[in-house]
Structure 1
Amino acid sequence: MDVVFNQLFAGLSMASILLIIALGLAIIYGAMGVINLAHGEFVMLGAYTTWACQHYLGFGILLSLPFVFVVVGAIGWLIERTIVQRLYDRPLDTILATWGIGIMLQQLVRIVIGPESRFVSGPDFLRGNLEIGNVVMSNYRIFVIFFSIAVLLATWALLTKTEFGTKLRAVIQNRSISECYGIESKRIYSLTFAYGAGLAGIAGTLITPLFSTIPTMGTSLVVDAFLVVIIGGLGSIIGAAAAAVMIGELTAMFSLVINDTLGRIGVLACVIVLIRLRPRGLFPENTRG
């Protein structure tokens, strides 16, 4: 039983990372209808920015978080303004363009920094474990879980309680009418894309003590994040949270009962069945009018 609880905790911590990544994807798709295949590379850029902050500036992970959010968000804003903004209402072109951007970012990191794995140490005060009986919980993973909840609540507040959120919802419902009322839809789209990219960068920062920091690190993570968005319901924040926990825990339990490879197959089989039963996801939203 203790092994089960340990595995459930590991699955919950992984779900927390997936949630932050998927939130960015859900917001970008919900607002703009853009399937961003470069989202995993934003995670990777966040990890490498964290490494650079620690290696060259001596910043810890916590001190790096706001810096990473701004840097990766700015990169996302630049990509949206120069490329993505010209491809709205052309979904296939957008998919191909963001896929190409992702490859370019990976190769740029390989050339500038190198393909070798980089190490980032976690905060000193979060080292060690919390032990309750035979259940061992990493202090850092506990921090990641609570931090992801804070990000979820902050994102919900941004979208529902602020002027920016009101304008974003107006643009989602009807872009042309909202522009008649003076809302600059292009500016809203750019800021939304930048926010989604910044969230991916934060996720990259948080996973640096847990994953190897390499140019391809975001590829597998973004696949799981896409599954979270699809299962939760495209554009749904509540759905993304529920689906992240579901996939994280299913992955952990399947890995315990069988093995990682077959466990992965089991998770995908469950996803296929769920999509068959609920093709619009657990909490579908009318994202674009």
Structure 2
Amino acid sequence: MDFAWVSFANSLVLGLSIGSIWLIAALGLTIIYGTAGVINMAHGEFIMLGAYSAYCLQAFLGVPFLLCLPLSFVIVGLIGLVIERVLVRYLYARPLDTLLATWGVSLVLMQGIRIIFGSEPKYISMPEFLSSNLMLGPLSLSSFRIFLMVGAVLLVGATWYLIYRTHFGIKIRAVTQNKEMAASFGINSSRIYMYTFALGSGLAGLAGALFAALNIVLPTMGAGYVVESFLVVVTGGGALAGSVAAAALMGEIQSVFAFFFNSTFARFLLFILIVIFLRFRPQGLFAAGATRR
């Protein structure tokens, strides 16, 4: 196969892995925004907390990397639950206040981690089987990026099952569509919001644990993912299927443009395309089937 075509094929695979990273980062935000309409500005810091949770578990307790993933989900999910009960629960009817409050939470979390752990980068180790490359014909694939793509598929599948195939998911969809009507059937919307916020926070923590193996762990690392997370959610329309489609498209566009130009210019072009798309379709790829009340 011609070298140029091999490089282009590798860039397409890289685009899927980039889209998987953005999707994993955006999954928790999709759930929180899609259910409660909360724009969680602390989402990037929840990702950062997941990375530091994995670091602490591995550095101080010797927990294997794969076991750090579910434990980080639980730890950050509990932190999110506390923040929701203490602060966010009082602001659901005030979107601007929620935006400012969660931004304040993000600053507190970032500075708190900096005080506790300092600003020096931290590192965690991966299993050996995730540190190698796999050769599929002429294509060279990173084992960890394949792991991320498989993980994204599993997380989306689990989230879809929870929302569309469980009793709890029925309550989530009922509250999302009409919380007053849901309350008339005995559904406690406040409790649903609490569990949903905790679930979204836990997914952000799981994403952070995964990204801790991909990059260095820093108090400011969440800022590197939060912009793309919001773009995935907004471009997808706030729906799970929309976020999947948006992440895949954005990842491929970013990778293909980077193949022909460079990564910085590719990101610039990607943002321009998103702005143009939202100008003509502000509801996103998948418009919500019902209006949140």
TM over 0.5, shorter chain: yes
Aligned to 1:168: 172
1:210 to 214, 237, 247: 214
Cα distance, 1:60 vs structure 2: 2.1
Q: State the superposition RMSD in angstroms.
A: 1.1
8 A contact 1:38–1:99 mirrored in 2? yes
Cα distance, 1:272 vs structure 2: 1.1
Deviation string, structure 1 residues 82-112 (Cα, Å, up to 9, x no partner): 1000111101100000001001100000000
**Residues 1-289 of structure 1 mapped to structure 2, 5 A cutoff:** 1-234=5-238, 236-285=239-288, 286=290, 288-289=292-293
Residue-pair matches, total: 288
8 A contact 1:30–1:287 mirrored in 2? no
SS at match of 1:209: helix
Distance 2:13 2:214 in 1: 14
Cα distance, 1:80 vs structure 2: 0.6
* Runs of 4+ with deviation above 6 angstroms: none
Deviation string, structure 1 residues 138-197 (Cα, Å, up to 9, x no partner): 111111101110000100000011111111111112212222222111111000000001
Distance 2:65 2:247 in 1: 23
Cα distance, 1:287 vs structure 2: 5.1
Q: Which moved more, 1:10-19 or 1:220-229?
A: 10-19
Segments of 5+ residues of structure 1 without an aligned counterpart are none
8 A contact 1:47–1:213 mirrored in 2? yes
From the superposition, tell whether residues 117 and 161 of structure 1 become closer, same or farther in structure 2 (CA, over 3 Å).
same
For normalisation by structure 2, the TM-score amounts to 0.95
Distance 2:220 2:9 in 1: 31
Segments of 5+ residues of structure 2 without an aligned counterpart are none
8 A contact 1:31–1:287 mirrored in 2? no
8 A contact 1:17–1:206 mirrored in 2? no
SS at match of 1:130: strand
Cα distance, 1:11 vs structure 2: 2.0
